[in-house]
Chain A
Amino acid sequence: MTDLKTEYKHGFVTSVETETIRKGLDEEVIRLISAKKNEPEWLLEYRLKAYRHWLTLEEPHWAKADYAPIDYNALYYYSAPKSVEEKPKSLDDLDPELLATFERLGIPLSEQKRISGVAIDAVFDSVSLGTTHKDVLEKAGVIFCSISEAVKTHPELVRKYLGTVVPHTDNFFAALNAAVFSDGSFCYIPRGVTCPLDLSTYFRINAKETGQFERTLLIADQGSFVNYLEGCTAPQRDENQLHAAVVELVALDDAEIRYSTVQNWYTGDREGRGGIYNFVTKRGKCVGRNSKISWTQVEAGSSITWKYPSCILQGENSVGAFYSVALTHDRMQADTGTKMIHIGKNTRSTIVSKGISTGKSVNSYRGLVKIMPTASGARNFSQCDSMLVGDRAGANTFPYIEVKNDSAVVEHEASTSRISEDQLFYLQSRGLSQEETISLLVNGFCKDVFKQLPLEFSVEAVKLIEMKLENSIG
C-alpha cells in the first residue's frame, strides 16, 4: 500500500488587494482591529481583558501533536479585501474575483446561482462578505449575519451571550481568539421558530501568514430548531497557518441545534510542510429543559487538528451528541473528540467517533464524559472505532470518564481494525473496482456518522473521504 497523494483542489490563491494590519500582536493592534470594525467600547474592553489574560498563559502541549513553536508576533491578525472596506450593498456587487473564488469552491453567492434551501454566510480571511437569502430569514424573524454586523444591529444579544459558553479564560487559544477575533457568523432563532432554511458559513483563508480567528455565536430560543453547516478551505502554502476559532452554541428550553462541519483545510504536503493548524474551541450549552445540541463533524483537512466540540448539559432532560469522522493521511495529526458534561437530571449523551489513519499520520480520539453529582439518571453511550490503512499509521483512544452520581449509566465501546490486502482482494474478486471497494468500506465504517449529516452535505462528505482514501490504496 502506498501513501495518499495530496491532491488538494481548493489550494488556489485569490489575488485581491488587501487591507492588512501590521504583523504582530499588542494592545495597539487590538485597538486597530476594534477601530476597523467600529466596535463599541465594551467590546474593545472585552478584547483587551482577554489579551491581558492571554499574556499570562502558556501555550498548552498536552495534545498528541508535534509542531514547531508558533511565533505569535510573526502573524497578521487582520486581513480583508479592500473592495469590502465599504461594505457592498448586496452580494451581487462584490468584487468579481471574490465571487469567482466562492464559485470555484462550489459556493455560488450571486442572486441567480445561489443554492436554494441553504442560507450562506461567506467569510474571507477576516471579514464576512455577506449572507444569502436574507429576505426569507427576516420574514421568519431569524437573525443570520456576520458577528461584526450583529455587534452593531443586535448589541444586546451579542453582549448577553458572548463568552457565556466559552469564557475568555477557558484556554490559551480561546483567550487569543477573544482578543483578536475577526469575523464569523451570528445567528438567533426566535422562540418557537423552525428555521426555514439550513444556515451555513463557509470559511476561506486566503492571505499569507495570516491567522484566522473566527467567532461564531448561535442562539436557539425556546422551542426553536436550526440546522447549521460549516465548511472550510485554504490555499496550498508552504508555511503553516493558524486557525483558532471559537464557536458558542446556546439552546434554551425545548430548542434544538444541529451543527455540522466538513473541515477540509489544506493539510500540508506529503512531508508535512505547510498546512493549517486547526486549534478550535467549540462548545454548546443546553441551558434549557429538553434542549438538544448535536455536533457532527467530518475532519479531513489541516496539518494538525485539535478540537473537542462539547456539550454542557445543564437543563433537565437535555441531550448532547457528537458524531465524528476524522481522516488523517501523510503526516497529518489529529487529536479530536468531545466533552459531555452532565449537570442536569436525566441528561443523555451519545458519542460516535470514527477515525481513519493512513500514511504516517496519527489520529487520536480524546473524550471526557463527566457526570456531576446533580445529574441523577444521566446516561452516556460512547463508541470509538479506529481504522488503520497500511502499517505506518497510528491510532489512539483516550476516553476519560468521571462519574459523581451513582444513578448514572455510562457505556464505552472501542475497536481498532485494519483495511487488509485480503479484504481488498476479496471485494475486488467479486467485480468491484478499487473505487467501489473503498467506497463500500468507508461507507460501511462511517455510516453511523454520515447519516447524521443533511443530505447534500453528506454526499459532499462521502466524496471527500473517498477521494482522499482512493489514492492511499492499491
Chain B
Amino acid sequence: MLKVKNLHARIGDKEVLKGLNLEIKPGEVHAIMGPNGSGKSTLSKVLAGHPDYEVTSGSVDFEVDFQDRDLLTMAPDERARQGVFLAFQYPIEVPGVSNITFLRAAFNSVCRAQGVKEMGEEDFRKFVEQKAALVDLNPSFLERAVNEGFSGGEKKRNEILQMAVLSPRLAILDETDSGLDIDSLKVVAQGVNKLRNKNNAILLITHYQRLLDYIVPDHVHVLAGGRILQSGDKTLAQKLEQHGYDWLVKAGV
C-alpha cells in the first residue's frame, strides 16, 4: 500500500530524513519508535504533505485503485481524499467552526472524490454520533468549535473521531499517546482497534512501548538520525523499553 524508498527531507536548512525506507501492506500495523529529534514527526508530516517540509530525494508510492501513485506530487487535501490520514500530535484549534460542520464538510469532500453519495445533515448526525461513541466522546463536543478549549485528551479523541468518520486506508498516528492518562489511552486504543481491518493500515509513531500494549503492532521500526536502524516484531519494542535507545543508536553509529 505504501512504499517509501530512500526518502530524504529537510525543513529549512536542516536535513531530517536521510534515506528512509519503509513498506506497509494492507491490514498491517507498524510502529515507529525513536528518540527525540530522530525524524518521527517529520516522517508523518512529509507523508501528509506539510508545506514546510521539502523532499530532496527518494520516493513515496501510495496504492490507489490497485495502482501505485506518487504521493509526493499530491496536495495535502488530495492525499486525504485518497485515504491518507494524519492524527496530529498537536491538533489545531479552529475557532468559530463547529466540529460537526467541519466533519461533515470533510466527509462529503472525501465522498465526492471517491464517487460515493454524500450524506445529508440528519443522516450524518446519526452516523457521527455512533462514531463518537467509539471514542467515548460526548455528542455535545460536536457542537463546539473544532478543538477550541478541548483538554489534551479530548483533542486526541477528537482526532480518532475524525479518523473514524473518514475511514482512511492509511492512518498515521503521530504520538497520539502523548499527554494521555492511562484511562484515555485505553479509550483511544480501543477506538483505533475497532477501526482496524484487513484493507487498511496504521502507522503508529510513538516514544513509548505503553501504547503498543493496547494497539499491538505487526512490525516495529527504530528510527534514529533520519533512518530506520532496525526493524522487528513487537518484541523489539519490549527490548527498547528495557534498554532504552542508546545501545541501538550507538550500534548504528
Q: List the interface of chain A (C-beta within 8 A of B).
A: 417, 420-423, 425-434, 436-437, 440-441, 443-445, 447
Contact = CB atoms under 8 A, between A and B. Distances in A.
A426 B91 contact: yes
Contacts of A433: 77, 109
Nearest to A441: B97
A172 B57 CA distance: 65
Contact of B76 (A425, A440, A447): A425
Given A426-B94, A440-B94, A444-B98, 9 more contacts: A426-B88, A427-B94, A428-B77, A429-B77, A430-B166, A432-B105, A440-B105, A441-B97, A444-B96
A431 B110 contact: yes
**Closest 3 CB pairs between A and B?**
A444-B96, A444-B97, A431-B80
Contacts of A430: 77, 80, 85, 102, 106, 109, 162, 166
Nearest to A426: B92
B86 A436 contact: no
Contacts of A444: 94-98, 101, 145
Contacts of A443: 97
22 contacts: A421-B51, A425-B50, A425-B76, A426-B94, A427-B106, A428-B75, A429-B77, A430-B166, A431-B77, A431-B81, A433-B109, A436-B105, A437-B77, A440-B102, A440-B105, A441-B97, A444-B94, A444-B96, A444-B97, A444-B98, A444-B101, A445-B95
Contacts of B64: none
A420 B81 CA distance: 22
Residue of A429, A436, A444, A445 with highest tally of chain B CB at under 10 A: A429
A436 B109 contact: yes
A312 B80 CA distance: 53
Interface residues of B, number: 31
Given A429-B77, A431-B81, A447 B92 contact: no
Interface string B61-95: 00000000000000111011100011010011011
Interface of B: 48-52, 75-77, 79-81, 85-86, 88, 91-92, 94-98, 101-102, 105-106, 109-110, 113, 145, 162, 166
B16 to A, nearest CB: 17
Contacts of B110: 431
Nearest to B84: A429
Nearest to B52: A421
A355 to B, nearest CB: 14
A431 B113 contact: yes
Nearest to A417: B95
A429 B74 CA distance: 11
Contacts of A432: 77, 80, 105-106, 109
Contacts of B101: 440, 444
Contacts of A440: 94, 97, 101-102, 105
Contacts of B77: 428-434, 437
A425 B105 CA distance: 15
A465 to B, nearest CB: 14
B71 to A, nearest CB: 13
Contacts of A447: 96
Contacts of B75: 428
Contacts of B80: 428-432
B48 A429 contact: yes
B115 to A, nearest CB: 14
A420 B93 CA distance: 10
